[in-house]
Amino acid sequence: MSSAQVRWIGGGKFVGVDSTQHSVVLSTPSEGIGMKPSEMLLVALASCTAVDVVSILEKRRKPLASLEIQATGEQDADPPWPFRKIHLKYILSGKDITPKDAETAIQLSEEKYCSVAATVRGVAEITTSYEILPLS
């Protein structure tokens, strides 16, 4: 079973701690010190799929030299401001990475492996795109 806890540390600041005792600072925008909780959802989605894509490509002997995922989201204008659309742009490079490799890894992550995507998909439409950069 997964678990996490959030501790209030004063004002609009909080510390989130996961089951392995890793932590992250969260805050309201006015605090200027931590991540906004709603944007933490975007980070969770991007990092969940990143883990999958790296693993899938490694298993296919297509190791990455770099991977960045840019996540953007559109939220409703009124409370509780749910995300309705989330777009993930994958920017990757690696020796012999083809468009088919990228598409397959992204699709497998989104449709089969990423627990965050599976959870969010019922509320928000998730779209993806990718760009393969040449090795420098």
Averaged pLDDT for residues 83-104: 97
| Domain 37-132, CATH | 3.30.300.20
**Residue boundaries of the structural domains of the chain:** 1-35, 37-132
**Please, what is the average pLDDT of the chain?**
96
Cα–Cα distance measured from residue 51 to residue 69, given in angstroms and rounded to the nearest whole number: 11
Say yes or no to pLDDT of 60 above 90: yes
pLDDT score of 59: 97
Residue of higher predicted confidence among 114 and 32: 114
Q: Which residue has the tokens 């397959």?
A: 104
Q: What percent of the chain has pLDDT over 90?
A: 96
Averaged pLDDT for residues 11-25: 97
Averaged pLDDT for residues 31-54: 96
pLDDT score of 136: 74
As a whole number of Å, the end-to-end CA separation of the chain is: 42
The CATH T-level fold of domain 1-35 is N-terminal domain of TfIIb (2.20.25)
C-beta neighbour count of 110 within 10 angstroms: 21
Averaged pLDDT for residues 127-131: 98
Averaged pLDDT for residues 85-107: 97
Confidence band, pLDDT 50/70/90 cuts, at residue 58:
very high
Let me know: does 37 contact 45? Beta carbons within 8 Å.
no
Cα–Cα distance measured from residue 21 to residue 121, given in angstroms and rounded to the nearest whole number: 28
Cα–Cα distance measured from residue 92 to residue 133, given in angstroms and rounded to the nearest whole number: 6
